[in-house]
Amino acid sequence: MLLQIRSDGSITNNPTIYSNPARFEDMNESMKYQIAKQLSDLALKNLSFIQRIAKGLLMIWDNKSVYVVRRLYKISMNAKWALTGDESDGHRFIFNFGGSSTYANMNMEWIPPRDMVLCICMQLHNRHLGDGLIMHNPSTSRGGSINMSDIPTYIFALDPSDCNTRGPSVYNLPLPNVYENFLLCPGNNRIAVPLGGGILEMFQEYLNVWMHSAWNNELVGEIYTTIGMFSFSTDGKPIKNTFYTNWRKYSHWLGINEWKQTPLKPILTSMIGGGQWIIP
């Protein structure tokens, strides 16, 4: 089907030379949202728009949701860290999963390996965008807050060397607060919704709260793997051990047939494009 986006944000499947066309990337956020809502009226169930907003940042629109995908160059881990080891093999900080009496509450910064593209994606359903919780329209007069658990957010890793194929892989890292379907558990935190705030403002607020929230071990699978991949030296730097350098081996791998059965399907399908990955 041939579509035309007019300069007023309307979509037509019957374009004419008299229409006033517009480039999707030139439109503001509010207009793009209105375009996404019109997709359902045209019954375009499999059509989506994707745009690189800035370095490391993508936005995806379809007829059901808006997705914000950001590449993470670091993760702040606010948790209880136990000091282990001795003078011979070196001291290190690990997650205090064993209930050690010697621990400290610290915020460690984990930096992904260079051969990993680590992403976080926030999904905003149309019900979030239409009930005033997200002010895509500056004239909306009410604000408030929203529970972070009501906003589906996912964390996943990609292998850059595998991002130019038709059947790319995705990895679920052994993080202690991420479900098997890549869904992040943000706890009971709430984020404010400022009047006139947009989707990107909401996303940044989510990141700020999440980065400073306390981590727990409720979703830990293989404790040994989690401790191995996310351990730190006494100077606060990630230890580049075999778990870190061989992160693919110690993460949950999903091929294209597997991740199509997860909530990541619309996100990754849009990022593939015409067979070429669009990486944040």
- Which amino acid type is present at position 198? G
At residue 48, φ and ψ (nearest 5 deg) are: -145, 160
Cα–Cα distances in angstroms (integers) from residue 1 to residues 5, 43, 46, 126, 180, in the given order: 13, 11, 12, 24, 37
Residues 6+ apart with CB under 8 A from 177: 184, 185, 186, 215, 216, 218, 219
The 3-state secondary structure of 24-63, one letter per residue: HHHCCHHHHHHHHHHHHHCCCCCCCEEEEEECCEEEEECC
Predicted structure pTM score: 0.78
Residue 219 pLDDT? 58
Residue 12 CA, distance from chain mean position: 32
Residue 110 pLDDT? 92
Output the tens digit of pLDDT for each of the chain's 280 residues.
444 445 555 555 544 443 444 455 555 666 655 665 555 455 445 556 777 777 888 888 777 788 899 999 999 988 888 887 765 556 778 777 655 556 778 888 999 999 999 999 999 887 666 544 454 444 444 456 778 888 899 999 998 887 666 667 899 998 888 888 899 888 788 887 665 556 777 888 888 888 888 776 665 667 788 888 888 888 888 999 999 999 999 999 888 888 888 888 888 888 876 566 777 8
